[in-house]
Amino acid sequence: MICLFGNQKGGVGKSTLTVLSGNYLSLAKDWPVTIIDMDYQQSISQKFEKAKVLENEEPYDVLPANLESFPPLIPVLTKNKKDAVLIDLPGKLDDDGLIPVFKSADLVICPFAYDEFTFESTVLFTVVLKR
């Protein structure tokens, strides 16, 4: 299963929700999980590297990636349908490199807030997804 977490608006919690979902699926459901950090800030990857200092066993893999490196990963990521692949998307929608990422998805989660700016940005994100 490939699940995308995305929104054009920053600060809505997509990286946080990606990690929380990874923790839940890995620890509570015992699913094999891989998180792919495609966000330009790479915050999940950076925090994951810092956490390695604690010498705890990682509950899942975190792979920093960019849009150019994604297409070759698709066959590997879709090999086992029982694995959960969670992708933290970049916040920009103006890159054609997102098309193969969107097409690979089984599920898209779009966190948002009810303020006007965030809501409008979320509507734009969903319109782009439909195309």
C-alpha–C-alpha distance, residues 109 and 47, integer Å: 22
Which of the residue ranges 23-32, 38-47, 55-64, 98-107 would you say has the lowest mean pLDDT?
Answer: 55-64
Q: Give the span between the Cα atoms of 84 and 2, in whole angstroms.
A: 6
- For the entire predicted model, the pTM comes to 0.85
Between the two ends of the chain, the Cα-to-Cα distance in Å is 21
Evaluated on CA atoms 113, 116, 122, 123, the torsion sign reads positive
Q: Which pair of tokens denotes residue 53?
A: 């200092």
Domains defined along the chain, listed by start: 2-130 (3.40.50.300)
CA angle (108, 110, 113) in 5-degree steps = 170
In this predicted model, what pLDDT tens digit does every residue of 17-31 receive, in sequence order?
999 999 999 999 999
d(Cα 3, Cα 84) in Å, to the nearest integer?
7
